[in-house]
Amino acid sequence: MALIVQKFGGTSVADVDRIRHVAQRVVDTQKAGNDVVVVVSAMAGETDRLVGLTRSFGAEANPREYDVVVSTGEQQTIGLLAMAIQELGVPARSFTGSQVRIHTDEAHARARIASIDTERIRKELARGWVVVVPGFQGIDSEGDITTLGRGGSDTSAVAVAAALGADVCEILTDVAGVFTSDPNVVPNARKLDRISYEEMLEMASLGAKVLQIRSVKFGKRYGIPIHVRSTFSTDEGTWVVPEDEIMESLVVSGVTYNRNEAKVTMFGVPDRPGVATQVFAPISEAGVVIDMIVQNVSTQGLTDITFTVPRGDLEKALPIVRGVADEIGAAGVTQDSSIAKVSVVGLGMRDHAGVAGQMFRALAEEGINIQMISTSEIKISVVIEEKYTELACRTLHDAFGLGLDELATAEP
């Protein structure tokens, strides 16, 4: 007998039939002898509808009221799902974020979970009831409704699992698990059986959308195994677990890509102490997040600084960058929106030398030029021309033996 937290996303509860299907899934899990707590998102499209309504009234200026409105999406789903489960003859009860006291900080629309009172949930589980709670929301110290920001339901689920000391947090979604790469781009991408929290964090940061980053951090901090699997199949998905539970690490576990960045270069920059701060401080102050930064070796006292920003923020960043360039006497500024960041992630990199060299060689053989490089302990990212995105992913996927057949033999 295990305590299982199951989280269903918006597409899994998109309509009456799907809610019924989810109810059956929950009932099957309980009848297999488990205690079940269900965390749900709003029905697909409902949060967008509610956010749209709030936009008419300057939602940004009133995040407190924004939260009152958008939190109703999940409240609808918890009630409907509890009804659907009861229709199948299993007692179920829904509780709002206020009722189960999901405490957060006061940062409306992007709150962080501080603690969860589990007393009420435990009482219902002890009676043999299924408990259904809303993702994405909580209450602050005033008792006001807060929301966690988009994708927050994953985080809610892992937080509930952590508070209850659950055996597993299942994230049920419309994909079968975490893949070695995007199957739409790399046809022979395969589902991973296991992946470490660290790799999952890198992959989520680099563009894989299967899990919300904060939920992985929670899982890692509290040691909650996360099982990402399909709502529409009972096949095993991908387990996200501590590193020491990965028997034999792959050199590279996944290949990700991100086409949402743009590159800015300031060239002929006088190379003196403090110049980086002069360049980047005003951009950050404007709320633009800088991702990669590369600075060339200085020649004749001048250097080039290249960095990437979200593509949607390019128009905001450029005038600031040009202003700084004038101010510090740089030679000029260029930009490029047609780029992609392609990354390889893998715990095994720590022990295997030469991964970077293997990556660069594989790309070079396909004639793909590397514009920028950035590395961490378990990932290597390169910026390339956007048009090579798919080719680069497929090339790297093959180069590191991630295709279906090769991987099957590499695992224990």
Interface with its own copies (CB under 8 A), residue from 3, 14, 51, 72: 72
We find the least distance from the C-beta atom of residue 81 to its own copies, in angstroms, to be 9
Region near its own copies per CB under 8 A, out of 81-89, 111-119, 332-340, 375-383: 81-89
For position 79 contacting its own copies by CB under 8 A, the verdict is yes
Q: What secondary structure, in 3-state letters, does the chain show?
A: CCEEEEEECHHHHCCHHHHHHHHHHHHHHHHCCCEEEEEECCCCCHHHHHHHHHHCCCHHHCHHHHHHHHCHHHHHHHHHHHHHHHHCCCCEEECCCCCCCEEECCCCCCCCEEEECCHHHHHHHHCCCEEEEECCEEECCCCCEEECCCCHHHHHHHHHHHHHCCCEEEEEECCCCCECCCCCCCCCCCECCEEEHHHHHHHHHCCCCCCCHHHHHHHHHHCCCEEEEECCCCCCCEEEECHHHCCCCCCCCEEEEECCEEEEEEEEEECCCCHHHHHHHHHHHCCCCCCCEEECCCECCEEEEEEEEEHHHHHHHHHHHHHHHHHHCCCEEEEECCEEEEEEECHHHHCCCCHHHHHHHHHHHCCCCCCEEEEECCEEEEEEEHHHHHHHHHHHHHHCCCCHHHHHHHCC
Region near its own copies per CB under 8 A, out of 76-84, 216-224, 231-239, 340-348: 76-84
Q: By C-beta, is 19 or 206 nearer to its own copies? A: 19
Q: By C-beta, is 38 or 384 nearer to its own copies? A: 38
Q: Which residues between 88 and 117 bind its own copies (CB under 8 A)? A: 93-94, 96, 98-99
Q: By C-beta, is 58 or 270 nearer to its own copies? A: 58
Interface with its own copies (CB under 8 A), residue from 59, 121, 178, 186: 59
Q: What are phi and psi of 229, to 5 degrees?
A: -150, 170
Interatomic CA distance for residues 178 and 174, integer angstroms: 11
For position 76 contacting its own copies by CB under 8 A, the verdict is yes
For position 128 contacting its own copies by CB under 8 A, the verdict is no
Q: By C-beta, is 66 or 179 nearer to its own copies? A: 66
We find the least distance from the C-beta atom of residue 89 to its own copies, in angstroms, to be 11
For position 11 contacting its own copies by CB under 8 A, the verdict is no
Interface with its own copies (CB under 8 A), residue from 11, 48, 64, 207: 64
We find the least distance from the C-beta atom of residue 84 to its own copies, in angstroms, to be 5
For position 66 contacting its own copies by CB under 8 A, the verdict is yes
For position 56 contacting its own copies by CB under 8 A, the verdict is yes
Interface with its own copies (CB under 8 A), residue from 29, 54, 253, 265: 54
Q: By C-beta, is 83 or 107 nearer to its own copies? A: 83
| Strands lying side by side in the sheet with 302-310 | 293-295, 302-310, 261-270, 332-336
For position 61 contacting its own copies by CB under 8 A, the verdict is yes
We find the least distance from the C-beta atom of residue 118 to its own copies, in angstroms, to be 16
We find the least distance from the C-beta atom of residue 221 to its own copies, in angstroms, to be 30
For position 75 contacting its own copies by CB under 8 A, the verdict is yes
For position 136 contacting its own copies by CB under 8 A, the verdict is no
Which parts of this chain interact with its own copies (CB under 8 A)?
16, 19-20, 50, 53-54, 56-59, 61-62, 64-69, 71-73, 75-76, 78-80, 82-84, 86-87, 93-94, 96, 98-99, 143-145
